[in-house]
Structure 1
């Protein structure tokens, strides 16, 4: 009987170990194949969870739940994925907890809960950095970059993507490199650099095909199709979108299926191929609502509005457009960007505080070592030497304390500077987002409503002309609002960027005036790296804009020239026309010239106006000592 009991006690732990190993093997095998066969992976993971629960193996239970959350996320079952990974957070294993935070972050990002997503990613990043896990750190940097990219904070997004790229390249991680290039390409595409974006997307697709990652292939194929669409190569775009749809269907990814149907519908509407298009939109809305993907629901509503507008059913089109505006307003809460910036401030501040504590600990150790050495010397030296050493040690300790205080003050100043810069960026983001999302959307709705009135009703000619004037004025207001947002979103503006903006304005002015010849001359090719503050750049742009508008309205000119010159830290901008001119001494200057002088005064510049009757007008803006205005501190 005793022997039987002894054998039983030995067998039970062995059976438990076997079950534990079996659950671990099932988890590993499922995650190795889930990209290409997610349904089979789900079946294997459910079995691993059942075995883990039978043996009360808490680690494997949490691991199985988190893996189930990852696969459900890829299939677009976001709420279920979030629940499973949240339950996995009960584990004591820090790496498993970090993986769960990352998966919840991806889900929240897809559900447009960007502030929560960033908080999840930062929690995961803390764990990976503490363990110096480079690949996981890079993956998390890439995910944080996506949050900023989705919110239009492109400079911050590229900063995190490039951090991830450097680490992935050092590790030769092909999948990571592919994802980084794909994410950077999206930013280039949104900025209009389509050829560059296409190269990056195709490079990403080559890597995904080599890895045989169907999910990655579907995303890259879809992105290539989108670029071809914007390049107006419609047939190529349709081929890639249909290819993406086929791959997404093969792996059962509801999110991808919805996006592909939306893309196909949008291209067909734009090219006026309306037969069967509504079926695509219906399918997109079905899968988007099933997976609760905010961006795809929004795209489907937009496609419905465009489809009925193309069918000349303006009443139904306007109904869907109003539904789209309401839905978009419910998502684009201004506080989202504010919370993201606040979390970034908290994270960076906490990091600096840890560095301060670490440096203080190092200084304390150094001081302790110095005191111990002093004690040894005191025991061996004669009284005269001791007295001289005491004086020297007192002086050294005082210098050490002074250095310590100096370093502490420098660190405090650095923290204060970071907080100030972040608060300033926060205010800029809040104001620009408010202008774009509220005022911009309202102006766009006004234009759409005016167009619907003109085309939906037979109006008297006089009233129709008045509505056209209001629509054109509103459109001009939107352009000026975009110029303001462009300047507000930048800490500094390069001379090259400013000249490009002015060149675009001149091109638009040239289209509206067939009788005037425009000349744009720049003698600053070697100095285009020079930076101006956003205030300087905007004021210079507005002065030139005002000068050109005045020449078009009042000068009856045949030629208008704009010239940039830079010499010895001095920037000169000349606007010259050959119009009828005016007598500066005897004519009262208008608000336009007064406004230009006021703007020049705000940036410590000088403006001069030279004009005589029948001899044209010459307006010159001069900014001296430009160096002191070209730093980031301006």
Structure 2
């Protein structure tokens, strides 16, 4: 596609070759649905067809763009399409259609954030109003274009606006002010040296100032401005139409100053105009020749040129020049003066009516465009209002949902914080309880040691002393066996019975503390079972491996195991309806195993969710690097197995 565009835009190629490439692009673009419309490609192709003067395809592309802009609310496409159609209608003298599209483009551009081509549109609209002699409207539109052009540093539109404002002021005979704006345009040409039309733009305001000088009767100044402009460049070669305008101004000034060399200049411009088939140049040259020959009293030549102007101007709808021709003919041909004057008045009145009707039509188009725009804006505002309301409802709903979620999350967080504080307090309580248990156990140990020392003293000081005395007293039997000695020794033998009683008493005391020989933790478990037995009908059995050295087991492990046993016994008493409970504690190859089994009613572990007690037991097991498993079946009791790596 890009290669085809390059061929179509290459002005160095033959026109037929460029048209062929353009038509391939055109056929492809027309097949594309509007949803895939590439606005830039369409505008690029429309521009190519404009310069190739294939206006039918130019209009087709712009109409497609216009439809697309309405369907998709694409302001850029809407501005460009209306602007393009406005230019097309302007060059084809469909001024009302041109005004409609320019007004439409102006409204779309004005409401858009980017203000697409706003100054260009306003400037073209100003020119259109000037053509239809709405000089005030033209000036307003041109000033509007100038304001935006100055803001955007658009030098070409600034220049064009100065020219249009000058023309509009000239139309209302404010000639001094008009010259002021033409001079501003001259100064602005310094910023347009890179413009392809630079030399034409530079000469144009000189030509207009020369015209005003002629209107004021200042033909010397008019001649000066014409000569100055002609000195800028060889216009006859590069811009022959500009050359003709400037030369006609120069020749007419010479004519008014009495210089007869003007005839050659008039004939030269007419020849160029005929070769170019340029109607405005032909009309101006013939009008000046008619006036020249009238001054020379050559009525035949004067009438011939004036008649040619009248016919050519009428056929091309250049009615201003037709009026000038009729005015000249009334002077050249006095016998038909009344007919020419009648035609002049009729045409002039008709033109004024048309101008008035056109201005009214333009005002109506402007009003209708505003009305359509206002209706559209109202509809869009209503739609926006509904959309805003929906968004507000949605936003409010989301706000309340967020508030509810935050409230729920806050409550959940507070509950978690309470649970965390509870766990922390429980851990502190556990630590304190365990510490108290240790202190209690320590006191038991101290008591046991005191008792051991007391028994040791009794054995050493009492029984051992008595046995030693008996042994020494009986030792005499080895030497003497007389009756007296034997009788005395029998008394000591009776003393042995007393020693026997003391030994029996000590033995009895020791038997009462026999369980104290079991390890400390095992005693704690036994005490736990005894406490449970005190308020239930349960029968407890503890099987503990005596080889386990509980001193080498970390206190945290012992505390958590104790709590798990405590929770398990609590659950058995509360739910199991059991008669007996067996606790086994074994250790094999660094693995401490504890099992708690009951013969209660059991439960279905698949249907009943674990409660807080089970959850706490599992968490305690995890904290000591353990694994806890619960097995249960209806009617077969429950067994809890705890494995801990130590």
TM-score range, shorter chain: 0.3 to 0.5
Output the TM-score relative to the length of structure 2: 0.43
Which of the two has higher C-alpha Rg?
2
Output the TM-score relative to the length of structure 1: 0.44
